[in-house]
Structure 1
């Protein structure tokens, strides 16, 4: 009997120690501490971790890590143990994706940053065929590049994010498609002091998701984050944070009045939870599907 009691006490103490253990969770340091694009993913991650009740420390990496480098470091279990990024089949093979779209699919809704000297090129665009005649600028390692190429675009690629804006400023390429969750913060820094212009009438959409990724060897952290996100979805706090962050942005971009063209995404993994309506942005934005006249 005494042995049974001692065993129960030992099990209880082990459980208490596990719950009290400090989880150190490191994410990629953004370009600067005021980078608004990283504020929502960090806030949502904090919300999810709080829902689990674990004791954690959330901190940035020691050095700035752009997405491509961060994903490589994550695969090797170095510097970071969580990264948020747009998904594709290869990333989900290399890493563990927590398949809850943290921006509810808005990462695939793209408006066009252009050089003011080239704004007239967009005045007569009426179809996807017309848009394909223009050259988008994208990053070399971005899934977006392959999506655009698969849809018939001739893409001008650059190694890093900042260089894409530099190319548009210099008149190289015709437009830089940026997600609605990125473009405001970026133009606040890049565009207000330059010749950049946000095209007011059009957008592209392709189905995709931005997920939290962890190392394939860190299943426990994946389950922890997934549990917290699901609890935040169930109690409405996920939706509240999402709406507070993005509703003013979508309204400011006048998305309801834009002509939105839909592209196919051949990189979208079959496991993407497209049928779970809780996880995606519910909107009245009218998109134009690819029609036979758009197919070359």
Structure 2
């Protein structure tokens, strides 16, 4: 007996579908990730971002809040969109996953030329360059001597602690020949407490919050007074190089937030207290260069970089 048209072609469709799924799985591509996160037909989208592994700090949610605002303010032009967070990722895994366009659509990293060759960055600094202002965490026994250094030469002989997979590690290694590394922040604090190295440079918002968190476990740690480092650095949103729709949407959204004042308001809400606590205007700020910064980051737009002299 001859099969009906629907039976024959339905069977063929199932075979073809199964074959496509098998090819995707064998090639390591998840079927869901083969689709763009932007669905232009119905003007809706889903944007996946990695949840931060250590989200205990008040400032940790700020990039997500800024991302959400940039998506929301562009709904009239680009359509409704839903942000979805996925499980905790290490820095290396975020880069790898985003480069392969599998599992996440956007993430934020310290800017680097090498990273921008793999991914596409939006050139607006998320934290207004705050990442480049560094306080020096140290053991209380070394605090006074370190604070007396007046130039880079005075601290270059010190041993520095830093994250082994942190993207701006090369910028630090350029100036500090002796670096002790670990991929675990807890280990770095423990080693600093036991004097395995001398200084641990942390961005001003990180230094304050992290010292408070580790205070009971490592009460011997301090921020070295009267001294700070500065080098041009910013954390940026990154997307896959093929995801032009999301790149365009985030770029437009961030500039709308800059123009209407939301960018400044959100930044100050999450960071002003740390800027005031750091008291940068009363510190000897040792300036470093950062040759690893992408050249198209908007250094000339003063709206995008915080000025310590305007906080009192």
Shorter chain as denominator, the TM-score bin is 0.7 to 0.9
- Aligned twin of 1:222: 247
Q: How many positions carry a matched residue from both structures?
A: 268
CA 1:121–1:144 in structure 2 vs 1: closer, same or farther (change >3 Å)?
farther
How far apart are 1:177 and its partner, in Å? 0.2
How far apart are 1:33 and its partner, in Å? 4.5
How far apart are 1:193 and its partner, in Å? 3.3
Could you tell me whether the CA contact under 8 Å between 2:147 and 2:226 is conserved in 1?
A: no
Could you tell me whether the CA contact under 8 Å between 1:85 and 1:211 is conserved in 2?
A: yes
Let me know the Cα RMSD of the aligned residues. Answer: 2.0
Comparing 82-91 with 241-250, which one deviates more in the overlay?
A: 241-250
Q: Equivalent residues in 2 for 1:173-188 (5 A)?
A: 173-188=197-212
- Aligned twin of 1:133: 157
Gap runs ≥5 in structure 2: 1-38
- Aligned twin of 1:271: 296
CA 1:73–1:284 in structure 2 vs 1: closer, same or farther (change >3 Å)?
same
CA 1:216–1:270 in structure 2 vs 1: closer, same or farther (change >3 Å)?
same
- Structure 2 distance, partners of 1:223, 1:117, is 51
| Residue 43 of structure 1, aligned match among 60, 65, 89 | 65
- Aligned twin of 1:196: 221
- Aligned twin of 1:5: none
How far apart are 1:152 and its partner, in Å? 4.3
CA 1:123–1:22 in structure 2 vs 1: closer, same or farther (change >3 Å)?
same
Q: Over residues 192-250 of structure 1, what are the superposed CA-to-partner deviations in whole Å (9 max), with x where a residue is unaligned?
A: 43132122211100012210001112111111111110100011111111122222211
- Structure 2 distance, partners of 1:228, 1:98, is 11
How far apart are 1:163 and its partner, in Å? 2.5
Could you tell me whether the CA contact under 8 Å between 1:20 and 1:55 is conserved in 2?
A: no
Q: Over residues 91-132 of structure 1, what are the superposed CA-to-partner deviations in whole Å (9 max), with x where a residue is unaligned?
A: 000001001011111110000111223324314322211111
CA 1:23–1:169 in structure 2 vs 1: closer, same or farther (change >3 Å)?
farther
Comparing 276-285 with 65-74, which one deviates more in the overlay?
A: 276-285
| Residue 67 of structure 1, aligned match among 51, 76, 91 | 91
CA 1:183–1:20 in structure 2 vs 1: closer, same or farther (change >3 Å)?
farther
CA 1:21–1:187 in structure 2 vs 1: closer, same or farther (change >3 Å)?
farther
SS of match in other structure, 1:284 = helix
CA 1:122–1:50 in structure 2 vs 1: closer, same or farther (change >3 Å)?
same
- Structure 1 distance, partners of 2:191, 2:295, is 35
Gap runs ≥5 in structure 1: 1-16, 286-296
- Structure 2 distance, partners of 1:178, 1:226, is 28
Could you tell me whether the CA contact under 8 Å between 2:280 and 2:308 is conserved in 1?
A: no
Q: Equivalent residues in 2 for 1:89-108 (5 A)?
A: 89-108=113-132
Matched, 1:160 2:189: no
SS of match in other structure, 1:271 = coil
How far apart are 1:175 and its partner, in Å? 1.1
- Structure 1 distance, partners of 2:40, 2:101, is 22
SS of match in other structure, 2:48 = strand
- Aligned twin of 1:246: 271
Q: TM-score, normalised by structure 1?
A: 0.84
CA 1:73–1:161 in structure 2 vs 1: closer, same or farther (change >3 Å)?
farther
How far apart are 1:143 and its partner, in Å? 3.5
CA 1:34–1:218 in structure 2 vs 1: closer, same or farther (change >3 Å)?
same
SS of match in other structure, 2:71 = helix
Could you tell me whether the CA contact under 8 Å between 2:149 and 2:155 is conserved in 1?
A: yes
